[in-house]
């Protein structure tokens, strides 16, 4: 019996919202193949957050499939204030953004407040201001301490609390805000697995969050979201500093020229593969399925490209928070990924830099598995390193069956491409651990008699543990 065909390498992240937060919908999401559940904290209240995390854990336990939970914290954000009624801005109109009380525009010039009072210090004449995901575009003409005067270049309707993007402008907002601190504390208390930090601009932003996690004695992994031009300029140092990277194409597509977006995505994936970090492709993957039961042909190709590029995860946002077809979206990603993975491997890049001796051992295990049709990789890990190392080497066809005694590590392994985690205590004698694992795999239908298993683990040799690669045939 060949069980390889039942396996999907690319992981699926689903964002929870009104369409999916019920127990019934959560169960369907997880059964349909969601590996990680994302909580977007931009508008989430703490009592909702605690309740929903406990609900995810309860449903996971009941159906026997533990998923990881990622909290996506808001980060620094510039927004417009409230407007009594939507304002229709006309092309060529002069318009003010006001940053101080009493800085309102005159009768001739309409205005809106902005939530960031130091905006006037960061912005210069000639800069572009994009509002509401770039639907409105303005050019800065002049500024004083109370207001920024602009000309409308692309007209449209301005509503309350719209997001502002400033392409190429270095904004001096803190990367980890008081709201982020409060939200993260709730997440840590409830046992989340990943924290996604929004608008990461440099490695120092990640170190700030890491210091906070150390203070809280938390082992939560940090996902850096790259969303502006500063992040692209500092990509190498950001990848090195984080535990995983999210290519957040929503704001990135506003902050950077459209035609640069595919180039940035590919560069980010390659940087992660080279430096040994998992990578997530996010935003607009199946956007049309928020309202339609089938995706566009272009969306299918977009998802396929992320799989061809060997990203660890693809992510759903609005599709599963407010969409009409959340379960169909998960099934669609699952179907596309499985089909593209059958093609995968014909144009394979070398995944990671083999610096340490252990990585060289893992590399030899992957080379051996690649040579054996239908072989599986088996490893044991207390902290996730062995499984992550194998995942980074992108085995051609073999699933990575990773056994860990830690529930935290088990959930964090859900993020890694081609890794299927199993929870099991590790025996003091390595051979006993291997036999126990093979028994579990037989019971779960993951291996059967005659299957070949490449084992990357440590073995006892003259009273010390040494890294080894073994080849076994299931009896």
Which DSSP string corresponds to 15-78?
E--TTT-SHHHHHHHHHHT--EEEEETTS--HHHHHHHHHHHHHHHHHHT---EEEEEE--S--
User: Average pLDDT for residues 56-71, to the nearest whole number?
Assistant: 97
CA distance 269 to 312: 9
CA distance 428 to 465: 11
Protein fold of 4-75+175-340 = TIM Barrel (3.20.20)
What phi-psi label fits residue 172: left (phi over 0), alpha (psi between -120 and 50 degrees) or beta?
alpha
Q: What are phi and psi of 98, to 5 degrees?
A: -105, 140
User: Average pLDDT for residues 242-263, to the nearest whole number?
Assistant: 95
Nearest to residue 414, comparing CAs of 427, 428, 425, 400? Answer: 400
User: Average pLDDT for residues 276-290, to the nearest whole number?
Assistant: 97
Q: What are phi and psi of 154, to 5 degrees?
A: -115, 115
| HSE, side-chain direction, 13 A CA sphere, residue 183 | 25
pLDDT tens string 116-152: 989 999 999 999 999 998 999 999 999 999 999 999 9
Q: Are 246 and 222 in contact (CB under 8 A)?
A: no
Q: Is 94 helix (H, G, I), strand (E, B) or coil?
A: strand
| pLDDT number for residue 212 | 98
> In 278-354, at which residue ranges do the beta strands (DSSP E only) sit?
279-282, 313-316
CA distance 21 to 199: 26
Model pTM? 0.93
- Residue count of the chain, please give it: 475
Q: Is 433 helix (H, G, I), strand (E, B) or coil?
A: helix
pLDDT tens string 189-238: 999 999 999 999 999 999 999 999 999 999 999 999 999 999 999 999 99
CA distance 294 to 365: 41
Residue 344: alpha-carbon gap to chain centroid: 22
Residues assigned a catalytic role:
38, 79, 225, 283
| pLDDT number for residue 48 | 98
Q: Are 279 and 249 in contact (CB under 8 A)?
A: no
Q: Are 272 and 279 in contact (CB under 8 A)?
A: yes
CB neighbour list of residue 439: distance below 8 Å, 6 or more residues apart: none
- Mean pLDDT (the chain, rounded): 93
Instruction: Render the burial of 134-146: b for 16+ CB within 10 Å, e for the rest.
Output: bebbbebeebeee
| pLDDT of 345 higher than 90 | no
Mutual angle of helices 23-32 and 46-63, in 10-degree steps: 50
Binning the chain into helix, strand and coil, the percentages to the nearest 5 are 40, 25, 35
Q: Are 192 and 216 in contact (CB under 8 A)?
A: no
Q: Is 128 helix (H, G, I), strand (E, B) or coil?
A: strand
Q: Is 447 helix (H, G, I), strand (E, B) or coil?
A: coil
Least confident of 38-52, 75-89, 94-108, 341-355: 341-355
| HSE, side-chain direction, 13 A CA sphere, residue 92 | 0
CB neighbour list of residue 21: distance below 8 Å, 6 or more residues apart: 52, 55
Protein fold of 87-165 = M1 Pyruvate Kinase; Domain 3 (2.40.33)
Question: How big is the CA angle at 309 (ends 304 and 313), to the nearest 5 degrees?
Answer: 75
One-character DSSP codes across 192-247: -SEEEETT--SHHHHHHHHHHHHHTT--PEEEEEE-SHHHHHTHHHHHHHSSEEEE
| pLDDT of 106 higher than 70 | no
What CATH code is assigned to 357-473? 3.40.1380.20
Q: Are 129 and 137 in contact (CB under 8 A)?
A: yes
Provide CATH 2.40.33.10 ranges for the chain. Answer: 87-165
Band of pLDDT at residue 6, cut at 50, 70 and 90 = confident
The residue assigned the tokens 């309409």 is: 110
Band of pLDDT at residue 356, cut at 50, 70 and 90 = confident
Residue 13: alpha-carbon gap to chain centroid: 7
Q: What are phi and psi of 140, to 5 degrees?
A: -75, 125
| pLDDT number for residue 107 | 67
Band of pLDDT at residue 95, cut at 50, 70 and 90 = very high
The number of helices, as runs of H, and strands, as runs of E, in the chain is 16, 21
What phi-psi label fits residue 149: left (phi over 0), alpha (psi between -120 and 50 degrees) or beta?
beta
């Amino acid at each position: 019996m060949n069980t390889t065909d039942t396996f999907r390498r690319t992981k699926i992240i689903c964002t929870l919202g009104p369409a999916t937060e019920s127990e019934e919908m959560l169960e369907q999401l997880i059964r349909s193949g969601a590996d990680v559940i994302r909580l977007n904290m931009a508008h989430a209240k703490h009592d909702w957050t605690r309740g929903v995390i406990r609900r995810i854990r309860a449903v996971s336990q009941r159906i026997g499939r533990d998923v990881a939970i990622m909290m996506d914290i808001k980060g620094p954000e510039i927004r417009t204030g409230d407007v009594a009624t939507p304002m229709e801005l006309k092309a060529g109109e002069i318009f003010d953004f006001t940053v101080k009380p009493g800085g309102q525009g005159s009768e001739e010039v309409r205005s809106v407040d902005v939530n960031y009072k130091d905006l006037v210090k960061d912005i210069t004449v000639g800069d572009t201001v994009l509002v509401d995901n770039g639907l409105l575009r303005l050019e800065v003409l002049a500024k004083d301490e109370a207001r920024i005067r602009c000309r409308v270049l692309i007209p449209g309707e301005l509503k309350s609390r719209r997001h502002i993007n400033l392409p190429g402008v270095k904004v001096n907002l803190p990367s980890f805000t008081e709201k982020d601190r409060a939200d993260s504390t709730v997440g840590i208390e409830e046992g989340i697995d990943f924290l996604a930090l929004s608008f990461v601009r440099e490695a120092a932003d990640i170190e700030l969050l890491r210091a906070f996690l150390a203070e809280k004695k938390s082992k939560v992994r940090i996902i850096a979201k790259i969303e502006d031009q500063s992040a692209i300029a500092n990509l190498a140092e950001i990848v090195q500093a984080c535990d995983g990277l999210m290519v957040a194409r929503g704001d990135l597509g506003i902050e950077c020229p459209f035609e640069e977006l595919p180039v940035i995505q590919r560069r980010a994936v390659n940087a992660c593969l080279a430096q040994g970090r998992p990578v997530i492709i996010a935003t607009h993957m199946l956007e049309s399925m928020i309202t339609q039961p089938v995706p566009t042909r272009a969306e299918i190709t977009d998802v396929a490209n992320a799989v061809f590029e060997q990203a660890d995860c693809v992510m759903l946002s609005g599709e599963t928070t407010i969409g009409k077809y959340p379960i169909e979206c998960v099934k669609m990603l699952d179907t596309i990924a499985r089909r593209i993975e059958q093609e995968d491997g014909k144009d394979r890049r070398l995944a990671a830099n083999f610096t340490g001796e252990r990585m060289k051992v893992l590399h030899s295990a992957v080379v051996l598995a690649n040579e054996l049709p239908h072989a599986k990789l088996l490893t044991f890990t207390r902290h996730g390193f062995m499984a992550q190392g194998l995942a980074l080497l992108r085995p051609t066809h073999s699933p990575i069956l990773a056994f860990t005694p830690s529930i935290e590590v088990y959930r964090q392994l859900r993020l890694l491409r081609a890794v299927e985690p199993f929870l099991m205590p590790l025996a003091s004698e390595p051979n006993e651990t291997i036999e126990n694992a093979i028994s579990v795999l037989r019971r779960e239908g993951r291996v059967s008699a005659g299957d070949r298993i490449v084992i990357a683990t440590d073995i006892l040799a003259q009273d010390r543990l040494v890294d080894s690669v073994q080849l076994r045939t299931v009896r």
